[in-house]
Amino acid sequence: MTSAVSLPNIQIDDSILLTLKETKETLASQMKLYTAIMLYKKDKLSLGKAALFADMNKAEFLKAMEKENIPVFDFDTETMKQIVDDSRF
């Protein structure tokens, strides 16, 4: 069993919530998702850990990334060629 860590509160001006037309709960959830996506894209977290960070399972996290038009695998041409070449028998 894992334990949770509480991070310091983030203070956001009320006008931000009004501008975004979001509740503080929705904004907090979105901030966790966007942070998880960025940490995943920067190879700081695996897909599973990023999903856990966003309070989602892997399938939900993949769908959220798809909804945001963020590629799950973002390889350059040379890396993709190497992966394809390595997968050939």
pLDDT digits (tens, 9 = 90+) for 3-56: 888 888 889 899 999 999 999 999 999 999 999 999 999 989 999 999 999 999
Contact between 53 and 45 (Cβ < 8 Å): yes
Read off the pTM: 0.75
Query: How many distinct structural domains can be found in the chain?
Result: 1
Is position 67 within any domain? yes
Residue 5 lies in a domain: no
Asked whether residue 11 is assigned to any structural domain, the reply reads: no
Full domain range(s) for residue 30:
22-87
Q: Look at residue 29 and tell me if it is in a domain.
A: yes
Give the residue among 61, 57, 49 at the shortest CA–CA distance from 2. Answer: 49
- CA 42, CA 24: separation in Å to the nearest integer? 27
Residue 2 lies in a domain: no
